[in-house]
Amino acid sequence: MSTVLLVEDNHAQMELIDSYLREGGHNVIQVPDAKEALNKAVEKKPDIIVTDVVMPGMSGFELCRQLKNNPATANIPIVICSSKDQEIDRLWGMRQGAKAYLVKPFSQEQLIRAVKLAMA
């Protein structure tokens, strides 16, 4: 069973994504913002990180950049889940180091597939 660090500032979205991941057989660590995610990623060493993009303080794009520039977290795969659905957003997310980019709303099957592929 893999451990997912879930970064989402919207409580309802956090609970929905958490339930999708747990039903898919994953352990989930919830954090409400990118700054806390940076600390938890180093402390807990999750198997994968699932993050929102638009969050107060630091965006999911900046979070990806910082995680990929830190040797302690550089190899953790990242899946971005965002309501930003422009192709430029998807390309930018991948350029920052994300392995997958899902546009909200997405199904449980889409999320689990993206997580599995990102960890492969």
Tens digits of residue pLDDT in 23-55? 999 999 999 999 999 999 999 999 999 999 999
Burial (CB < 10 A; 0-12, 13-18, 19+), residue 105, is: exposed
Tens digits of residue pLDDT in 66-87? 999 999 999 999 999 999 899 9
Rounded Cα gap, residues 17 and 14, in angstroms: 5
Neighbours of 56 (CB within 10 A): 10
Closest CA to 100 of 117, 120, 76, 83: 117
Looking at the DSSP assignment, which residues form a beta bridge with residue 80? 51, 101
